Amino acid sequence: MQAYEWQCHVCRHSNSAARDTCSACGFAAAARGKDILLKRAAQADAAEAAPPASSDSVNLTELVAYLPLWRRILAYVGLMVSGAGGIWWKFAWTMPSYGSAFLMVAGGLLLVGLAAGRKTAPSPPP
């Protein structure tokens, strides 16, 4: 048993001198190098296999759900124009083509910005 605070070989968590195992992952304080490498590899594989958390993801439908129909249509049209401009940019070969592609992308994003601008509550009745 160590007479000092020690750091886990696997998860790098600091532990008190009174503990024989890591308080975070349960790995032993005194271990062979082979055991340390195996445990690290197992944790790395588990971290890669874990699916991403989907609770933070938001799709476009949820973002524009609060908008009136005409603003939703304007936002979708803006996205389509911007996307078409991006495709046009990819296949443009002359400077005027690049300019029109840029205008399509910028115009589409402007439409989206105007349509989805900010969340505002409807005004109260008089």
- pLDDT on residue 46: 72
44 and 69 fall within a common domain: no
Which domain does 66 fall in, by range?
A: 60-116
Residue type, 37: L
Encoded tokens for 121: 């509550």
Model confidence, pTM: 0.45
Phi, psi of 56 (to 5 degrees): -90, -10
Question: Could you tell me if residue 33 is inside a domain?
Answer: yes
pLDDT 10s digits, 42-55: 887 776 665 555 55
- pLDDT on residue 28: 87
Question: Could you tell me if residue 15 is inside a domain?
Answer: yes
pLDDT 10s digits, 53-76: 555 556 666 666 777 888 888 888
Question: Could you tell me if residue 91 is inside a domain?
Answer: yes
- pLDDT on residue 118: 64
23 and 66 fall within a common domain: no
89 and 109 fall within a common domain: yes
Question: Could you tell me if residue 123 is inside a domain?
Answer: no
Helix (H, G, I), strand (E, B) or coil at 37: helix
Question: Could you tell me if residue 54 is inside a domain?
Answer: no
Q: What is the mean pLDDT of the chain?
A: 79
Phi, psi of 125 (to 5 degrees): -65, 150
Question: Could you tell me if residue 55 is inside a domain?
Answer: no
86 and 38 fall within a common domain: no
- pLDDT on residue 4: 76
Question: Could you tell me if residue 19 is inside a domain?
Answer: yes
39 and 68 fall within a common domain: no
What DSSP string runs through 16-76? -TT-SB-TTT--BSS--HHHHHHHHHHHHHHHHHSPPP-SS---HHHHSTTS-HHHHHHHH
38 and 66 fall within a common domain: no
Domain count, the chain: 2
Q: Tell me if 11 sits within 8 A of 43, measured CB to CB.
A: yes
